[in-house]
Amino acid sequence: VTKILRIALPVPLRRLFDYLLPEVFDSARLIRGVRVRVPFQSRQLVGLLMEVADTSSIPLSKLKTVIEVLDETPLLPDDIMQLGTWAAEYYHYSAGEILLSAMPKALRQGKILDDQVIILANKKTEENLPILNPAQEQAVAHIIQHQTNFSSFLLDGVTGSGKTEVYLRIIDNIIKNNKQVLVMVPEISLTPQTIKRFRARFSEPIFAFHSSMTEKNRQHSWVAAASGTAAIIIGTRSAVFMPFKQLGLIIVDEEHDTSFKQQDRFRYHGRDLAVMRAHLNHIPILLGSATPSLESLLNVERKRYQYLSLPTRAGNALLPNFNLIDMRKTPAEAGLSLSLLASIREHIDAGNQVILFLNRRGFAPVLYCIHCAWMATCKRCAARMVYHQPHHLKCHHCDAHRSLPTSCESCNGSNLRALGLGTQRLENSLKEHFPSLSILRIDRDSTSKKNEMQKIFEQIHSGKPAILLGTQMLAKGHHFPHVTLVGMIDGDGGLFSADFRAIEQMGQLLLQVGGRAGRAEKPGTVMIQTHHPDHPLLQILLKEGYQAFARLLLIEREKFFLPPYVHFAIFRAEARSEKRANDFLEMIKANFTQNAVTILGPSAALLAKRKGLYCHQLLIKAEKRLQLQQFLKTIVQHIETKPLKFSVKWSLDIDPVVVL
C-alpha cells in the first residue's frame, strides 16, 4: 500500500497536510516529529511529520511528494510534541504554527544548529541564607516530598513573605537531583534582579528566555535547555515550550498576572499550559502569588491544587498601612491631592523613597478644542490620540503618531487643551513641587532605550531619596527596600468597568503596588486617591484582605454564571466594513446552535475599530468545557472547509482575559 505522510505546516489552517513519500528515503527516519521539506502552493515549507497513514481523503493523484526528510531523530522532545498538539486542539490553532515556533528560527528554516553552549560560570555570592520560618519550611518540605509525580501547588503568600526564598530552596533540591527547573515570570526584562538573585544563589548554569533577547541568545538558551546544560531556565510565557532533557519542576511566579496570556494570534495562557506540561511530564508545578487568580483559588477549593500559604512577611518586615484619600473632599492640583503631597514631602524629608503609580503614559490622554469640542482621534482606530511631550500625538493601539496640531483640525481655532493626566504631566508637576529631587519616570516610553531601565534601577538601589513614578511596570515583583510610601494616583480605575474581571485585577494591582512599600526594616504606607472610598469591595479588600475580597468575587461569579464557574470563548471578526464583520458573525450564530452553549452578540468590540478594521465579536459560554470545545470545533471545521464569501479576518480566543 502507498504510505501517506501527514505533515504539520506553519500555516494558519488548522489541519495536517497529506503528502506522498519522497523518492528516496530511509524508512527508519519516518519518526513522528522529524522535519520535512515540502512543496506548498508555489513555495517550499519546512514542516513536521505528525503521522504515517495508509489512506488520504484526497485522491492520491492530487497529492504532492515530500522533497526531503531533514532529520534522523525528532528535534522537539515528545512532551513538546504532545503539548503543542494538545494546545492546537484546545485553542483551535494551527499545530504547525505552534510547534514550529517552539524551535529556533534556524531550525524553522530547515538549517541545522551548530551551537556550542557557552556556559557563563555563575558566581555564587550568597553564603548566609536566612533561616526559614515554619510556614516556608513546611512549603519547601511538602513540595520536595511530591517531586516524583504530577501535582499542582498554589503558594499564596503576601508580598515579601519569602516566596522567592521558598522557590530557591526547592530548586536547590531539584537540581541536586540532576533535574532541570523552568521558572516562568510575567515580564523578565523589567526585573533584571530576578535573574541576578538566582545567579547569586547557584553555581549551576542559569539561562534566560524571553522575546526581547536576540534570536542568537534565545537559540543559545534553547540548546542549553535541550542538551541538559542549563540547570534553570527563567523565562516568560513562551518558555513553556522550551525543550528540556530532564525537567523536574515548573514554577510560575505571579501566576495571576495577565501577561501570561498571549493577546494576539496564538492566544494561549502560559500558566495553564504550564500546568498541562507538568501533567504530561509527571512533575510538580508551583504557582505563586500574593494575589492568586480566582481560577486558581477555585482549583484549590475543588481540590485540584494543593494550597500552601505564607501568611506573614518574612524577617521583620511588616505589611503596609492602607489609607484612602477621599478626592471629593480633598483639594487637588493636577491630580495630586494636598494630603498625598504632604505625605510625599514627609517621607522624602525622612530620607526615604516614594513610588507613585499612574497607569497612563504620555502627557494627557485627550487633546481637546475648547471652541468646537473636537478631540484628536486616530485615523485608523476608534480611539483618542494621546498627547506626548514635547509635541506628538500617539495612538496607543496602533502606534500611529503625528506631530501636535497647532490649531483645531475641525474649526481651525487655536485654543487646544490637553485634558487628563498621564505620567509625563505628573512628572512635570512633581518637578515643580520638588525641584532638587530626582524624579524617575518608569513607563514604556522612558525605558524603551537599551539599558535605560538598568540605569534607573541603579539610581533606585543607591537608596538616595527619590520619587519613582510609573505605570504598572512598577507593580511587577520588584524589591525596592528604600521605598516607604506608595501613592495610587487613580485608585478608581476598574471599580465600575464593564469588564467582569476589572475589579479582580484592580484589587490585585492595589495590593501588588502596595506591596512595594516597606519591604525591609522600614514600615510602609500606601495612600490611595479615590472618589469612592466607601465602595464595599474596596473596603473589604483593605480591611479584611485579599482572601475575603476574592471569596466575595467568587460568590458573585457563580451567581452571575461567569468564569471560572462557566467557560468563555470569544469569536472575533475584523473587516473593512462594519457590516461585513457583523454579517459574518450573524451567519455563524444562525447556523450553529447547541443547547449547552449560549451565544451573546454579535456586538462591536470596546475598541470598535483598530488599524483600519472594524472589530465585532460573539461571546460564547458553556458550563462544560468539552461542550464548548466540540461546538467551536464544528464551527472552525465548517469555516475552514467551505470557501468563504465574507472577506473577514476571524479569530478565536479561548478563556479570554479581556472580554470587551
Query: Which lies closer to ligand ADP via its Cβ, residue 156 or residue 492?
Result: 156
Query: Which lies closer to ligand ADP via its Cβ, residue 352 or residue 512?
Result: 512
Q: How far is the CB of 480 from ligand ADP (least distance, A)?
A: 11
Provide the grid cell at 617.
Answer: 465579536
Contact 238/274 with Cβ under 8 angstroms? no
Contact 480/355 with Cβ under 8 angstroms? yes
3-state secondary structure 478-507: CCCCCEEEEEECCCCCCCCCCCCCHHHHHH
Calculated CA dihedral for residues 62, 67, 73, 74, nearest 10 degrees: -60
* Sites for ligand ADP among residues 314-353 (CB under 6 A): 314-315
> Is 653 an interacting residue with respect to ligand ADP (CB under 6 A)?
no
Contact 585/620 with Cβ under 8 angstroms? no
CA distances from 479 to 164, 195, 487, 492, 525 (A): 11, 13, 16, 25, 15
Q: How far is the CB of 499 from Zn ion (least distance, A)?
A: 21
Provide the grid cell at 195.
Answer: 535573574
> Is 385 an interacting residue with respect to Zn ion (CB under 5 A)?
no
Provide the grid cell at 25.
Answer: 528515503
When CB distances are held under 5 to 8 angstroms depending on the partner's kind, the choice from Zn ion, ligand ADP, none that residue 163 binds is: ligand ADP
Alpha helices in 447-501 (DSSP H): 452-462
> Is 608 an interacting residue with respect to Zn ion (CB under 5 A)?
no
- Comparing CA positions, the residue from 78, 484, 40, 125 lying closest to residue 245 is 78
> 184 has which bridge partners?
235, 252
* Sites for ligand ADP among residues 160-189 (CB under 6 A): 160-165
- Comparing CA positions, the residue from 95, 35, 36, 80 lying closest to residue 277 is 80
Contacts of 521 (CB under 8 A, 6+ apart): 316, 317
* Sites for Zn ion among residues 389-408 (CB under 5 A): 395, 397-398, 400, 408
Q: What burial class does residue 390 get, using C-beta atoms within 10 Å of its C-beta: 0-12 exposed, 13-18 middle, 19+ buried? A: exposed
When CB distances are held under 5 to 8 angstroms depending on the partner's kind, the choice from ligand ADP, Zn ion, none that residue 130 binds is: ligand ADP
When CB distances are held under 5 to 8 angstroms depending on the partner's kind, the choice from Zn ion, ligand ADP, none that residue 372 binds is: Zn ion
CA–CA dist 599, 631 (Å, integer):
11
Query: Which lies closer to ligand ADP via its Cβ, residue 133 or residue 651?
Result: 133
Query: Which lies closer to ligand ADP via its Cβ, residue 94 or residue 289?
Result: 289
> Is 482 an interacting residue with respect to ligand ADP (CB under 6 A)?
no
> Is 552 an interacting residue with respect to ligand ADP (CB under 6 A)?
no
When CB distances are held under 5 to 8 angstroms depending on the partner's kind, the choice from ligand ADP, Zn ion, none that residue 380 binds is: Zn ion
Query: Which lies closer to ligand ADP via its Cβ, residue 128 or residue 403?
Result: 128
Q: How far is the CB of 171 from ligand ADP (least distance, A)?
A: 13
CA–CA dist 219, 30 (Å, integer):
26
Q: Using the rule CB under 6 A, give the single segment among 97-105, 155-163, 297-305, 363-371 that binds ligand ADP.
A: 155-163
Q: What phi, psi does 446 have (nearest 5°)?
A: -80, -15
Return the residue of 380, 532, 551, 621 that touches Zn ion, per CB under 5 A. Answer: 380
CA–CA dist 502, 660 (Å, integer):
11
> Is 257 an interacting residue with respect to ligand ADP (CB under 6 A)?
no
3-state secondary structure (DSSP) of residue 500: coil
When CB distances are held under 5 to 8 angstroms depending on the partner's kind, the choice from ligand ADP, Zn ion, none that residue 29 binds is: none
Q: How far is the CB of 72 from Zn ion (least distance, A)?
A: 49
Find the helix or strand (DSSP H, E) in which 325 lies.
strand 321-326
Return the residue of 33, 84, 96, 157 that touches ligand ADP, per CB under 6 A. Answer: 157
Return the residue of 60, 334, 350, 411 that touches Zn ion, per CB under 5 A. Answer: 411
Query: Which lies closer to ligand ADP via its Cβ, residue 199 or residue 267?
Result: 199
Size of the site for ligand ADP (CB under 6 A): 16
Binding site for Zn ion (CB under 5 A): 369, 371-372, 374, 378, 380-381, 395, 397-398, 400, 408, 410-411, 413
Binding site for ligand ADP (CB under 6 A): 130-133, 136, 157, 159-165, 314-315, 479
